[in-house]
Amino acid sequence: MSERLEWAHASSGAELLFPGEDIDGAVVEPGEIAVAVWTGSNGIALHGPREAVRDRLLQLALAVHQAPPVPFADACIPERTDPRRWRPAPLPRPLAPGPAGPALCGGADRPAAADPRLATCPDCIERWNSDTPLIRLSLTHAVPAPS
């Protein structure tokens, strides 16, 4: 996990915070509401006007709903895969990695992603993207701020 982010598991407790100051000193401005998700002794909060918070949470829920399948095991891109020729097809089933072998990242005995889009190795993805691929890969997908 990254130190840039405060991580809260999906099962973490959450609260709606209304205008005023709570017992912990959190202040919500008049006209705003906040959704706080607890990460242990701390938390993260999304705040703003009620409709804006609602719309953002709905947008994020839709993004999660429409997201592609999530890999459930670490995997590299096989060394033999050519980023300049590879074209996406429907994702294979099962999504489990294939047999270990040489990987784009230089690893000698790494589980092979069944599809490059299912790779979890940042070094493989960086190498893939540096080779003028037809399709760029990323471990992140931005969810634009509502307009």
Residue 80: the pLDDT is 93
Q: What is the pTM of this model?
A: 0.77
For residue 28, give both structure tokens. 């919500």
59-85 pLDDT, tens digit per residue, is 999 999 998 888 888 999 999 999 999
Reply yes or no on whether the pLDDT at 146 is more than 90: no
Provide the b/e sequence for 106-127 (b: ≥16 CB within 10 Å): ebeebbbbbbbbbbbbeebbeb
Q: How far is CA 72 from CA 60, 113, 118, 129, in A?
A: 21, 11, 9, 22
26-44 pLDDT, tens digit per residue, is 788 999 999 988 887 788 8
Domain boundaries, the chain: 14-66, 69-137
